[in-house]
Structure 1
Amino acid sequence: MTISTTSPRRARNRDGRRPTRAGRSILLTSGLAITLAAVLIPFYWLVIASTHSSGEIFGSPPPLLPGDHLGDNLASLQDTVSFGRVALNSLFIAVLYTLCAGTVCTLAGYAFAKYRFRGSDALFGVLMLGLVIPAQVTLVPLFKLMADLEWLNTYQAVIMPNLALPFGIFLMRQSMGALPDELLDSGRMDGCGELSLFLKVVLPPMKPALAALGIFLFLFQWNDFVWPLIVLRDNASFTIPVALASLQGVDDTDYGAILTGTAVAAIPMALVFLALQRHFVSGLLAGAVKG
């Protein structure tokens, strides 16, 4: 009696059947390809539509190749909403907000992670309630506060209310919680003051988390629409989302110009992500688990 020593997996391979691992790999690759197509197709159509007029965009079939109206759409944007000025407004506000809010969130996260004071856990819990409270609930009191401060139609009215962003503080607290306390104690024994300790010992290992925080804050402010719409009154101070919304008319809407402005607005977001993508995932993972 002959006993076969060939494993069932190898026997199936010889019969022409794919191994389970290969089948799973094919399914995974197919799923990723479908997901990638679902994500990229809208962006592709956005870029293509930005080069066509409104009539061509709603034609049948819709355009799939670049057109020759990009210059006309850009000129219409500039003539209607002074798009160059609007883009500079958005860039200035987003960069300044990222720097200021990043500083506030980093300092607050460090304080919650490495300093123990009475009521710190309760205070952090109250702060985290901001993650579950809808932003619309605070619009009226914030507007009243900005009016009392005479900050309406100013950049500080757009920037100041969201400096202490709960998610940013949470991310930095979790990331800084992974730093060994012994490292900080060693720095203090070497004569470092608290500010020097923060700048020279705490911040260098936090570069991935800071990059993730910077991307999140920049995109949050760059894409913000409701709050700038409420506090900004002058067309010259509009941000890109507010300016594009003003192009929508009751009887006539220049969709070619709107889609061109949307495509141009996506460029800074892509550049920021590409510049910091190496640190983005590792920064989020560092903030996901407290060491």
Structure 2
Amino acid sequence: MSEAISARTSRIGSVVTHAVLTVGAVLMIGPFLWQVLTALKSESEVTNVPPTFLPLEWVWDNFAEVFTSLPFGQQLVNSIIVAAACTIGQLAFCALGAYAFARLEFPGRGLLFALFLSVLMIPKQLLILPQYQIMSWLGLLNTLPALILPGVFSAFGTFLLRQFFMTIPKDLEEAAVLDGAGRFRIFYSVMLPLVKPALAALAVITMMHAWNDLLWPLVVNTDPATMPISAGLTSMQGQFRTNYPVLMAGSFMASIPMIVAYLALQRQFVQGIALSGVKG
């Protein structure tokens, strides 16, 4: 009798769990689906009251109009370059810094790491003015390096990778030292391959942040040819009129690269986030 009750309770729990997950999935997919359907409507239809869910007339020309409304292709390439450069830079610099904080013994390591993490408490908006002045002094305004340089360093990325490095047994390093490996060879050949999930997680987070960043590109780059796609799409919003179907079409196309990148690194991303707080 108890086994039957337990099995019934387990089935009910499974049904409830799947129902909650289904509702959550619908809520997450809903805005994205609405964006796609809006991109296929006419400009007059999006202002109908009550609104229509499916387009009364499927307007595919909205996607082509995006390329005539702004230099979409160039801005998309700019975003890809900026996201790739920021990701590679953070993986390199954060991995080196994290390994030093996790494995190297030097005076003031704890204090220096605490000061390093204190950067996370500073609102990003407070750094815009000094960063803008630096870019101006370097003559990098309206250039892609102005978008890339502030994004190649990350206190969060260093902390994330440090947590992973601390889970790796020191016996592996000692064995490598006995084999005659130097410090950099140990870092590159022994330690980095063991933190691939964390590197993948940091890569996804960095790519998404660089791709979606809006405030800094609007401040430092005013030339449409050097803007990323996030800043370029804002120019399609007018003071008195906005063509929402075309804007949604551009937003949908701009989101495709990040969706592909996340799907490619999904397993490593989830594993990296799940294990980042585990300390051996």
> What range is the shorter-chain TM-score in?
over 0.9
Quote the Cα distance in structure 1 between the aligned partners of 2:58 and 2:75: 24
Q: Is contact 2:90–2:152 with CA below 8 Å preserved after alignment?
A: yes
Quote the Cα distance in structure 2 between the aligned partners of 1:121 and 1:151: 35
Matched with 2:277 is: 288
Q: Is contact 2:197–2:271 with CA below 8 Å preserved after alignment?
A: yes
Q: Is contact 1:48–1:63 with CA below 8 Å preserved after alignment?
A: no
Higher mean alpha-carbon deviation, 231-240 vs 144-153, is at 144-153
Matched with 2:60 is: 70
Q: Post-superposition shift, 1:26?
A: 2.2
Q: Is contact 1:70–1:260 with CA below 8 Å preserved after alignment?
A: no
Q: Post-superposition shift, 1:132?
A: 2.1
Selected match of 2:116 from 111, 127, 149:
127
Q: Post-superposition shift, 1:61?
A: 4.0
Q: Post-superposition shift, 1:216?
A: 0.7
Query: Larger Cα Rg: Structure 1 or Structure 2?
Result: 1
Matched with 2:135 is: 146
Quote the Cα distance in structure 1 between the aligned partners of 2:279 and 2:151: 25
Quote the Cα distance in structure 2 between the aligned partners of 1:19 and 1:145: 66
Q: Post-superposition shift, 1:274?
A: 0.7
Matches of residues 95-174 of structure 1 in structure 2 within 5 Å?
95-174=84-163
Q: Post-superposition shift, 1:226?
A: 0.5
Matched with 1:263 is: 252
- Does the residue aligned with 1:57 lie in a helix, a strand or coil? helix
Quote the Cα distance in structure 2 between the aligned partners of 1:215 and 1:158: 18
Quote the Cα distance in structure 1 between the aligned partners of 2:42 and 2:266: 35
Quote the Cα distance in structure 2 between the aligned partners of 1:86 and 1:111: 37
Matched with 1:3 is: none
Q: Post-superposition shift, 1:75?
A: 2.9
Matched with 1:251 is: 240
Q: Is contact 1:90–1:239 with CA below 8 Å preserved after alignment?
A: yes
Selected match of 1:39 from 28, 36, 40:
28
- TM-score normalized by structure 2? 0.94
Q: Post-superposition shift, 1:68?
A: 2.8
- Letter of the aligned partner of 1:249 in structure 2? G
Matches of residues 188-227 of structure 1 in structure 2 within 5 Å?
188-227=177-216
Residues 51-89 of structure 1: per-residue CA shift (max 9 Å, x gap): 122222222343433553232x23322122111111111
Query: Unpaired segments of 5 or more residues in structure 2?
Result: none
Q: What root-mean-square deviation, in Å, do the aligned CA atoms of Structure 1 and Structure 2 show?
A: 1.7
Quote the Cα distance in structure 2 between the aligned partners of 1:262 and 1:161: 25
Matched with 1:85 is: 74
- Letter of the aligned partner of 1:254 in structure 2? N
Q: Post-superposition shift, 1:126?
A: 1.2
